[in-house]
Amino acid sequence: MLNMVTMDITLEQELPILIIARAADMTFKEFKEMNPEIRGYYLSSGPVSFHIPVDQKSRFQARLSDLYTAWQKNSPTRIHVVKPGENLIGIAKSYQMSLAELLRLNDISYKK
């Protein structure tokens, strides 16, 4: 079993788990296997805890800071003005994303 350490950080905004995994020099799959309680592809804003290999702890914060900065620069906010006749599925397809991703990004809950 791999020696691991628990990291407690506070995120300013929702962040892809892949960014956290890369900061720990791990693949997404490795990170998820080490942290089975974490669901989905994003960590919510606010305080979060997760495990990383103990040998990555010393470099983690600096790498996370660099990766977070790069991610922010490459993830511009998009604004879409809904036109008459448009629906959420069509909007999601136009941005090449799933309906679930569009709902999540816009903090919209899906209720039948």
Q: Higher pLDDT residue, 13 or 77?
A: 13
What residues are paired with 33 via a beta bridge?
A: none
Rounded CA-CA distance 6/84 in Å is 49
DSSP-assigned letters across all residues of the chain:
---EEEEEEEESS-EEHHHHHHHTT--HHHHHHH-TT--SSEEPSEEEEEEEEGGGHHHHHHHHHHHHHHHHHH------PPPTT--HHHHHHHTT--HHHHHHHTT-----
> Average pLDDT for residues 86-111, to the nearest whole number?
85
pLDDT in tens, 18-71: 999 999 999 999 999 999 999 888 888 899 999 999 999 999 999 999 999 888
- As given in the structure block, the two tokens for residue 105 are 């990004």
Q: Compute, in degrees rounded to 10, the torsion defined by CA atoms 51, 57, 63, 64.
A: 40
- Identify the band that residue 5 occupies on the pLDDT scale cut at 50, 70 and 90: very high
pTM: 0.67
Q: Higher pLDDT residue, 14 or 8?
A: 8
- Identify the band that residue 111 occupies on the pLDDT scale cut at 50, 70 and 90: confident
